A and B are shown apart, each in its own frame.
Chain A
Amino acid sequence: MKRWIPLIVFAVLVGFFAKGLFLNPREVPSPFIGKAAPAFTLPVVGSAEKTFSPADMQGKVWVLNVWAPWCVSCRQEHPVLMGLAQSQPVPIVGLNWKDKDREAEALLAQAGSPYAFVPDDLSGKVGIDYGVTGTPETYVIDKAGIVRMKHIGPIDPDVWKEKFEPKLKELGA
């Protein structure tokens, strides 16, 4: 028995390393889960006087999708969001993050907009307040304005079905 101990210790180590190897280092756990979504007021793309604030969504379960016209994986995600906008399970707000070239309006006009609102975060400050590390990132926010989930990376139909739908159901969307 005793001589098996080193082998067992080795196997346990291999187990830990193998697990670590298959984790996605981009999936940084968000410290906001279970906390209030940071407040902000931003102008809305395509309108000079309208603004958007998370407080406007009080009483609704909604999804905050951080995207940018220059972001390639956001384009990959776009048709999925368009599909969701049609079936309308929840309102999607698209935070336009650091759109320095001011392309969002034209892009959404051409490709279609899946968003209920498109707040315009030109400086990226609101993104920092939400702990955004890169686009796309998507938050699920409940009726009381609490962040319930964060997804890093593009949403595909499987991710939506396996990750988002159960959460939204739980929150009563």
Chain B
Amino acid sequence: MKKLFFAALAVCALSLPALAGEATLNAEDPVIEQRLTNLAEDLRCLVCQNESLAGSHAELAEDLRREIRTQMKAGKDDKQVIEYLTERYGDFVLYRPPFKPVTYLLWLGPLLFLLVGGAVWFQTMKRRRTMQDTPVDEKQLAAAAKLLDEK
């Protein structure tokens, strides 16, 4: 019985590398594969749009990864590869949109909200401070005392 258990364990252990094999990339050139993975993390798969090009199993993503690999092997740097892709698919392929007039609001929006929020906060604080400073005269005090006495 014990023997059988160990045999089963061995079978399981042996099949582990097979499972892991799915994630390994074409190991021809580890440097290029590393560059490809890094770059593809920041690129959008155009078929399943919320997945990165690195994580997608869509056929188009595979084709694009192959294309990027070919271009990297041909000596193109990351910037040139990104240029190649944006020329064809537009800025949409980038997860990090470039800073340019149409994206000013996108990039500066948080700062704008902070400024607006800060202004509102500042105004509120200022009003509170002036409220505390409002002097109460004798007449008002007497009126208040009278009201309290009535109860």
Contact = CB atoms under 8 A, between A and B. Distances in A.
A131 B90 contact: yes
B59 interface: yes
A29 interface: yes
Contact of B90 (A30, A98, A125): A30
Interface string B107-124: 000000000000000000
B88 A28 contact: no
B92 A134 contact: no
Interface string A126-149: 001111011000000000000000
Contact of A98 (B47, B59, B88): B59
Contacts of A29: 90, 92
Q: Is the interface of A mostly helix, strand, loop or mixed?
A: loop
Interface of A: 25, 28-32, 98, 124-125, 128-131, 133-134
B89 A133 contact: yes
A17 to B, nearest CB: 15
A32 B87 CA distance: 8
Contacts of A124: 60, 63
B63 A31 contact: no
15 contacts: A25-B49, A28-B90, A28-B92, A124-B60, A124-B63, A125-B67, A128-B67, A128-B88, A129-B88, A131-B88, A133-B46, A133-B47, A133-B89, A134-B46, A134-B60
B86 interface: yes
Contacts of B63: 124, 128
B57 to A, nearest CB: 15
Interface string B78-107: 000000001111101000000000000000
Contact of A28 (B46, B59, B87): B46
A131 B89 CA distance: 5
Given A98-B59, A133-B60, A134-B60, A31 B47 contact: no
